[in-house]
Amino acid sequence: MKGFEYLQNELDEMKSEGVFRELIPLETEQGSKVVIKGKEVIQLSSNNYLGLTDHPRMKQAALNAVEKYGVGTGSVRTIAGTLSMHEEFERKLAEFKHTEASLVFQSGFTTNQGVLSSILGKEDVVISDELNHASIIDGIRLTKAARKIYKHVDVEDLERALKESAEYRVRLVVTDGVFSMDGNIAPLPEIVELCEKYDAILMVDDAHSSGVLGRNGRGSIDHFDLNGRVHIQVGTLSKAIGVLGGYVASTQALRDYLVHKGRPFLFSTSHPPAVTEACSAAIDVLLEEPELIDKLWDNAKFFKDGLQKLGFDTGKSETPITPVIVGDATLCHELSDKLFEYGVFAQGIGFPTVAKGQARVRTIVTAQHTKEELQEALDAFEKAGKELNIIK
């Protein structure tokens, strides 16, 4: 259609640079093995840490909700779209997270956008880790607050930024709990101490820690025994929880404030009953089936050790996210393609998601993988890695 030539030109440029990406549809449900392009492959690219996307209790909860309440809510939360189950789930989640209250947003992305954009004004400053998730960056872009970036997990640089920020009304420090591209954990005990020393508010994004770290998967704050010392916990319901949505767990005052000011919350229709009831069932699963989390960590250790023994560079990973850092973007995509050929789906990730020269195949094992599948995947990595001269 005439008028979109400028978009097509940019797309053509992306194609010539080799960064144009096709979406890759799965032909089966999510799981340790999936079918892509008619081929069964081991799934190492999903965030379905505990395999909850097709857990029988979750599916049943969703089915019951559809039968009883239908498929949609017909309104935003603040008009006619709050069902009692929404509030029941928020109370349950707050209790699980050891906070006074919680509020659910449509996604983790809009949670970060909604929280950051609404609670900060031009008299405030936000201090952010340089590798924080895009949704935090976009949330910061939407505020009128001053911005400071500190070097990745560098607490000395964070202290410098805090010292330079004495004149602001509110200093808000924001960090991912687990960083999604490297799988390393933020040094929260040191960050909490600095925030207490400089009277700053701390916000932690537990997207990759909820259901993964802490007692029964309560997250990174519980992992470090910091309950009650982090002002704002945010996270997603779409990774380990296996469904969809985002949450903020904090004080009743913050919840009430966001109900009035959190724009994605205010102006977007609420979650369908099946989503909320499945999320609620996920909390029960976390509380009653902690062996899933043990299996996740056991699998993560087996796979990470295996990659390291083969000689791959797995960076600073400490969690089930294990990057295989290759450096060159073209080589990285070649590795991903070869892995697919050998029966493994592990996506290559390059610039701008990670820095130039830091391209990697990012792997995430789940509680659903068997040791045999993981060994099969390691064999594929060995074969592909040797063929491409990434390992000896």
Q: Please identify which residue in 108, 242, 264, 350 interacts with ligand PMP, judged by CB under 6 A.
A: 108
Choose one: 33-41, 102-110, 149-157, 209-217; the region binding ligand PMP (CB under 6 A): 102-110
From 165, 180, 209, 220, active-site residue? 180
Q: Say how far apart CA 327 and CA 319 lie, in whole Å.
A: 21
Q: Distance between the two ends of the chain, CA-based, in angstroms?
A: 51
User: Which tokens in the block code for residue 97?
Assistant: 């997270």
Given 99, 113, 210, 238, the residue binding ligand PMP (CB under 6 A)? 238
Residue selected from 31, 246, 273, 348 as contacting ligand PMP according to rule CB under 6 A? 246
Question: How far is residue 89's CA from residue 246's CA, in Å, rounded to a whole number?
Answer: 12
Which token pair is 127?
A: 């201090």
DSSP letter (8 states) at residue 125: E
The one among 180, 184, 210, 233 contacting ligand PMP by CB under 6 A: 180
Interface size with ligand PMP, residues (CB under 6 A)? 14
Question: Which one of the spans 105-113, 271-279, 326-334, 382-390 is the region binding ligand PMP (CB under 6 A)?
Answer: 105-113
Which range binds ligand PMP by CB under 6 A, 4-12, 77-85, 107-115, 148-156?
A: 107-115
Tell me if residue 147 falls in helix, strand or coil: strand
Q: What single string gives the DSSP state of each residue in 341-390?
A: HTTEE--EE-TTTS-TT-EEEEEE--TT--HHHHHHHHHHHHHHHHHTTS
How would you classify the pairing of strands 201-205 and 232-236?
A: parallel
Q: What is the rounded distance in angstroms from the CA atom of residue 217 to the CA atom of residue 290? A: 8
Q: Is 180 a catalytic residue?
A: yes
Catalytic residue among 208, 271, 295, 369: 208
φ, ψ of residue 147 to 5 degrees: the values are -125, 140
Strand pairing class (125-129; 171-176): parallel
Q: What phi and psi, each to the nearest 5 degrees, are found at residue 150? A: -105, 155
38: left (phi over 0), alpha (psi -120 to 50) or beta: left
Instruction: Kindly state whether residue 323 participates in binding ligand PMP, applying the rule CB under 6 A.
Output: no
Q: Which of 50, 83, 127, 207 binds ligand PMP (CB under 6 A)?
A: 207
Using CB under 6 A, which of 49, 96, 109, 340 touches ligand PMP? 109
Residue placing its CB nearer to ligand PMP in the complex, 174 or 361: 174
* 303 binds ligand PMP per the rule CB under 6 A: no
- Rounded CA gap, 269 and 216, in Å? 31
240 sits near ligand PMP (criterion: CB under 6 A): no
Instruction: Mark whether 239 is an active-site residue.
Output: yes
Asked if 90 is part of the footprint of ligand PMP (rule: CB under 6 A), the reply reads: no
Instruction: Please tell me the distance from the alpha carbon of residue 336 to that of residue 329, in angstroms, as a whole number.
Output: 11
Residue at shortest CB range from ligand PMP: 108
DSSP letters of 18-81?
T-------BSS-SSSEEEETTEEEEE-S---TT-GGG-HHHHHHHHHHHHHH-S---SBTTTT-
Residue whose entry in the numeric block shows the structure tokens 């996604």:
107
Query: Site residues for ligand PMP, window 120-149 (CB under 6 A)?
Result: 133, 135
Least distance between ligand PMP and beta carbon 128 (Å): 12
Closest separation in Å from C-beta 155 to ligand PMP: 20
* 180/280 with CB nearer ligand PMP: 180
Segment interacting with ligand PMP (CB under 6 A) among 55-63, 104-112, 218-226, 259-267: 104-112
User: By CB under 6 A, is residue 270 in contact with ligand PMP?
Assistant: no
Active site residues: 180, 208, 239
**Chain residues in the site for ligand PMP (CB under 6 A):** 107-109, 112, 133, 135, 176, 180, 205, 207-208, 236, 238, 246
